[in-house]
Structure 1
Amino acid sequence: MMAFILLLFAVTSLLPSISAGCCQNGWIPYDGHCYYIGYESLLTFSEALFYCISRDAYLTRLDTYSEYSFLRNFLKKTKASHGAWIGLTDRTKEGSYRWYGTYTSPTFSDWGPGQPDNLGNEDCVGIWESIDYRWNDFKCDSYKLKPLCEKKST
């Protein structure tokens, strides 16, 4: 009986650490974060912001090239999205791209050829299939992409 109690105690004390770092069903885990691609929705940048917020998340902020590479490869493999919004914009100051919500500058970039081109006042950034899932600037309020949401794992 004592062995059973010790085993039960050991298992229950491990449960919080086993579940730590988990993502909800449908979310993709990577390096302590969870990502969700809104495959069911084509949204403007502003709509994508609210879409992510409604899921207690934010539009993805690509902090490292390895994070970006992981997500880029995931989008390529699934081929379920022609493009996805990330939380990068130069709405505040043309040519000065910042992550929405933190207003920090990106630590790297992977613009597609000739991008960003600000064609017709394009201020929001997405990962775009036609340029091998590299960065492209788009019109925030008229172009529609899938939202790519991020949050810390729980």
Structure 2
Amino acid sequence: MTAEQPHPRRLDDTEMDTWLPVIRFVQLLPQVLDRTLKDEVGLNHARYAILVTLAGRGEGAVTMTELARIAGLSRSRLSHALDSLEERGWVERASCGADKRTLSAALTPAGREMLRTAAPVHVEQVRELVLDPLTAEEREQLGAILGKLLPGVTAAL
């Protein structure tokens, strides 16, 4: 390596100009979404994501392993969140069929009602902070870029 060559583990100025806003955005967006949901409906963003994931399954239940993967939470963090959701009557946990060691979770009617209350708050903020500032072409590009990046991040979990 010569004196002019940057260290292979160091980002050059152009890479840093791309990377730093990414870091800032991924750190701040969940905080803003979380604060707004808490203020407006008393629900944090992680728990909202769990309710949305369960609602996406219709009346079906989702195993804890699958829910943790989809929601992007560790098993212990998921368990804590589900305890809270279950105490509020929004989620039910049950054993999966013949394998009593495997648990699943399903949304209750009260959970669906909470989701109906929280969703407009969340959607409005997602539009305001992420979608509306972009043109249709930029939204398409963002989706394509994230589609390329997500598999690597998901595989690293």
Query: Would you say same fold, with TM above 0.5?
Result: no
Please, what TM-score do these two structures have when normalized by structure 1? 0.28
Which structure features the higher share of helix residues?
A: 2
Identify which of structures 1 and 2 has the higher relative contact order when contacts are C-alpha pairs closer than 8 Å and 6+ apart.
1
Please, what TM-score do these two structures have when normalized by structure 2? 0.28
Which structure features the higher share of strand residues?
A: 1
